[in-house]
Amino acid sequence: MKVFSEITQQLAEWALAQPVYFIATSPLAEEGHINVSPRGLQHLRILDLQHVVLLDLTGSGNESAAHIQENKRITIMFCAFEGAPRILRFYGEAQVILPNQTNWHEMRSHFDKDIAGVRQIFSIQVNRVQTSCGFGVPLMNFVAQRNELTHWAEKKDDKSLAEYQKKNNRVSIDGLQAPFVK
């Protein structure tokens, strides 16, 4: 295991070459549920040695945002499923940026304009970077990114997407309020 205070250029390049990553968040409550969420790499940008942004799309829940709003803690994990084994983690504190906030347009400009179903952006200040061996991670072949989530959102107009978010994305499974544009 190696620990770094920032994301090196080599680690950034390696991370961006992985087709999937995972984000983990947790509520403060001892009985709360830890959330681990797989993500496709087209929605992650490494802006500098300690700043990562994630474009978050509308989904069935909003656990990560609710946890971040409560306590800011987040971990991003990358695994090598092909090639040499490696696990890479970015530990940090995040903030949720909503479309009605002043820094929305600046953060949103890092991603393609045409992505449907965008809900929020997670802006992460990375304070620890850690690699480990990854010897226990299986070898698998990457086939393709899935498009079902964006295709689902493309079929909705702004009003129906907002209604879906209001119904399904306002409260975590532990009862925490998630950030929401009213």
pLDDT tens string 58-102: 999 999 999 999 999 999 999 999 999 999 999 999 999 999 999
pLDDT tens string 99-158: 999 999 999 999 999 999 999 999 999 999 999 999 999 999 999 999 999 999 999 999
Q: How many domains does the chain have?
A: 1
Q: Is residue 150 one of the residues assigned to a domain?
A: yes
Residue 41 has pLDDT above 80, yes or no: no
Q: Is residue 144 one of the residues assigned to a domain?
A: yes
Q: Is residue 173 one of the residues assigned to a domain?
A: no
Q: Is residue 128 one of the residues assigned to a domain?
A: yes
Write down the residue that tokens 């994630």 correspond to: 54
Are 165 and 58 in contact by the 8 Å Cβ rule? The answer is yes
pLDDT tens string 148-168: 999 999 999 999 999 999 999
Q: Is residue 180 one of the residues assigned to a domain?
A: no
Q: Is residue 53 one of the residues assigned to a domain?
A: yes
CATH code of residue 123: 2.30.110.10
Q: What is the pLDDT of residue 98?
A: 97
Residues 6+ apart with CB under 8 A from 66: 27, 171, 172, 174, 176, 177, 178, 179
Model pTM greater than 0.85?
yes
Q: What is the pLDDT of residue 42?
A: 83
Domain range spanning residue 34?
2-168
Q: Is residue 177 one of the residues assigned to a domain?
A: no
Q: Is residue 48 one of the residues assigned to a domain?
A: yes
Q: What is the pLDDT of residue 180?
A: 82
Q: How confident is the model at residue 181 (pLDDT cuts 50, 70, 90)?
A: confident
